[in-house]
């Protein structure tokens, strides 16, 4: 089914847009990139919803398990971000670490889906 693959591609783009925030301080003079990263929370929520739809449409396959784990990590990241709503350095480090773990899981999920 082509639709779940298109949604998967959109999810990858949204993930890249979210991860760009890690390097926000590197492009302080670039107004376009600063504007793009200002929608970080919207990208994350869209990623959560579209990843769920992708998982439903993709059906039952071996990569489903790694996708579920990645999706649950994303859900935790978003829930904690909305519950905590703090700009403390400690929370930012935790949020960043969980985001990197999530990105790594997504990469493993993609590799698993391609190989199997």
Query: Would you list the domain boundaries of the chain?
Result: 2-115
On the question of pLDDT at 116 being above 90, the answer is no
Residues 6+ apart with CB under 8 A from 52: 71
- For residue 99, CA distances in Å to 42, 50, 106 come to 15, 17, 10
Given this model, what pLDDT does residue 65 score? 92
Span 25-39, pLDDT tens digits: 776 777 888 888 889
Given this model, what pLDDT does residue 43 score? 96
Give which of 14, 103, 115, 6 is closest to 63, Cα–Cα. 115
The pTM for the full model equals 0.89
Residue 17 CA to residue 19 CA, distance in Å, equals 6
Span 41-92, pLDDT tens digits: 999 999 999 999 999 998 888 889 999 999 999 999 999 888 887 777 888 8
């Amino acid at each position: 089914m082509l639709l779940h693959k298109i949604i998967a591609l959109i999810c990858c783009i949204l993930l890249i847009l979210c991860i760009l925030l890690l390097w926000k301080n590197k492009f302080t003079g670039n107004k376009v990139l600063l504007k793009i990263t200002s929608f970080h929370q919207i990208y994350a929520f869209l990623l959560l919803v579209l990843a769920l739809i992708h998982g439903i449409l993709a059906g039952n396959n071996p990569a489903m398990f790694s996708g579920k784990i990645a999706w649950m990590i994303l859900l935790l990241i978003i829930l904690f971000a909305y519950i905590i709503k703090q700009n403390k350095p400690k929370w930012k480090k935790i949020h960043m670490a969980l985001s990197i773990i999530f990105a790594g899981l997504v990469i493993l999920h993609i590799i698993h889906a391609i190989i199997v």
